[in-house]
Amino acid sequence: MHHDANLTAERPTFVTHLECSLTGERYEADRLHGLSKAGRPLLVRYDLAAAGAALNPGTLADRPADLWRYRELLPVRHARNIVSLGETMTPIVPLPTVGGALGAPNLWVKDEGRLPTGSFKARGLVMAVAMAKELGVTTIAMPTNGNAGAAAAAYAARAGMEAVIFCPADTPEVNVREIAAQGARVYRVNGYIDDCGKLVGQGAKERGWFDLSTLKEPYRIEGKKTMGLELAEQLGWELPDVIFYPTGGGTGLIGMWKAFAEMEALGWIGPKRPRMVAVQAEGCAPIVRAWAAGERHATRWEDAHTIAMGIRVPQAVGDFLILDAVRESGGFACAVSDAAIEQAVDDAARQDGLLLCPEGGATLAAWREAMAQGLVGPQETVLLFNCATGLKYPLPDRSRTLDRHAPIDWAEL
Ligand SMILES: *Cc1c(COP(=O)(O)O)cnc(C)c1O
C-alpha cells in the first residue's frame, strides 16, 4: 500500500445527514452549516450498516497509520478536498514511575503533542478546513486560546484560504506568533475566548467569514472523533476503564463518545464504555459546577483563570453533550488547582521523561485526586490525554551557567 493512499484513493463516505444534538431535527449533508435552529451543535450521521460492509478492523490494519484511514466514517466526499500535514496516529505511552508510586501499573498517556502544529486541535481543524474547502469557503475565522488558531492557520494556508483569528490578549506569545507565522491575520482581544467568539460571529455577518468556532460548525467533532476510533484500534478494540479528558469546549470528549457509539453499531466493540472524566481547572470549572449541581446545562464562569489556557473556556455551547456523556458513562467531573497541575507536569517529566502540557498535567493531577478518593482503582486501565506538546508552553528556568575560564569544581557538577 502506498504511503499516501489514505489521501489520494477515492473512497466513499457514508454520511447520510446531520442532526440537531438537542432536538434531533434533520439537516442535509454536503451543505455549509453552523449551529442548528435551536442554537445547538449539529452531529453528522452515517449509514453505518453500509460503512461496515466497506470497512472493518481487517481493512483498517492494512492502511497507513494516519487519521484519514477512517475515510468511510468521515464527512469529506472527494479525495481532492483532503488537506493534510501528516496527521499521524499518536502513541499511547505508559507512565510507569508516576503510576507505580500509587501502585497503578496501567496508567497511560495518549500523547497528542505529536500531531501537526503540536496539538490535537489538528484533528478537528483538518476536518473542518477540508469540509470548508469542499463546500467552497474562502475565508475562515475563529476565536482561540492558542492551539486551535495555530491549527486553523496551518490548514487554511495548506488549503489556500484566508484565516482571521481572535485570541485573548494574554494568550501565550508563542501561540500568537505561530498563528501569524502560518499566514493568518491574528488579533489580540481584551477579553475571554467567548468574547472573541462574539467578534467572529459579527465578522461572519459583516464580511461573510465562515465561523469555525468549537462546535459551531459540525465537522470538528468528526475530526476529534478519530481519537476514539484510534485508541480502540490501538488497544485491540478494547476500551480503557477510565478516560481523563481536559475539558474546554469538550469537542474531544463528545467526539470520542460518538465514536464509541458508532463502533458499537458497526460491531467493532461491545457495550462496555470507559468512565469519562471531564477535567477542568479550579479557576474555570463550569462543567464541574453543573455536574455537581445535577444540571444538564452549565452557566458562564466569571473571572476565569488558570495556567492551562486550553481549558480556560467560561462557557461551552456543547455543555449538555459533555454532561450527558459523563453521566451515561458513570464517570464524573473534577477540578484541579494550578499548583497540582504544575506538580503533575514536573513529576511526569522528571520521573518518566514525558513533558506534558499543563492541560495534560491537569489530567494526571485529576487521576491522583480520584485515586485518593477511591473513585478509580489501582488495577484499572486509565488513559490520560496530553493534548499538546509541553514545548509550546513557557517552562520554568532551571538552567545553570558555567564560566569555562574559571576553575571548575567537578565534584559540584
Ligand atoms: C483545546 C485544548 C483543550 C480542550 O479541548 P476541548 O476538546 O475543546 O475541550 C485541552 N488542552 C489543550 C492543550 C487544548 O489546546
For the chain, which ranges sit under pLDDT 50?
Answer: none
Q: What are phi and psi of 193, to 5 degrees?
A: -65, -35
Instruction: Give the model's pLDDT for residue 1.
Output: 59
- Residue 404 DSSP label: T
Q: What 8-state DSSP symbol labels residue 410?
A: G
Cβ of 211 less than 6 Å from ligand 1: no
pLDDT score for 396? 87
Distance from the CA of 184 to the center of ligand 1, in angstroms?
Answer: 20
Q: How far is the CA of 138 from the centre of ligand 1 (A)?
A: 26
Q: Residue 250: CB within 6 Å of ligand 1?
A: yes
Q: Is the CB of 124 under 6 A from ligand 1?
A: no
Q: Are strands 139-143 and 210-211 parallel, antiparallel or unpaired?
A: parallel
CB-ligand 1 contact for 251 (6 Å cutoff): yes
> Is the beta carbon of 214 within 6 A of some atom in ligand 1?
yes
Q: Say if ligand 1 is within 6 A of residue 357 CB.
A: yes
Cite the beta strand spans of 21-174 per DSSP E. Answer: 26-28, 42-46, 92-94, 107-111, 139-143, 162-168
- C-alpha distances (whole Å) from 275 to each of 13, 247, 257, 286 are 30, 15, 11, 20
Ligand 1 atom nearest the C-alpha of 252 is: 7
Task: Let me know: does 140 contact 212? Beta carbons within 8 Å.
Answer: yes
Q: Ligand 1, residues 115, 247, 277: which to mutate, most atoms within 8 A of Cβ?
A: 247
pLDDT, tens digit, for every residue of 110-140?
999 999 999 999 999 999 999 999 999 999 9
**Is the CA virtual torsion 306, 307, 309, 310 positive or negative?**
negative
The per-residue pLDDT for 340 is 98
- Which set of grid coordinates corresponds to residue 5? 493512499
Kindly report the pTM of this predicted structure.
Answer: 0.96
Residue nearest to atom 10 of ligand 1 (CA): 310
H or E segment and range at residue 276: strand 275-281
Q: How far is CA 360 from CA 12, 175, 206, 367, 376, in A?
A: 35, 17, 38, 11, 18
3-state helix, strand, coil in the chain (%, to 5): 45, 15, 40
Ligand 1 midpoint to CA 142 (Å):
15
Burial 119-137 (b: 16+ CB within 10 A, else e): bbbbbbbbbbbbbbbbbeb
Report which protein residue has its CA nearest ligand 1's atom 1: 310
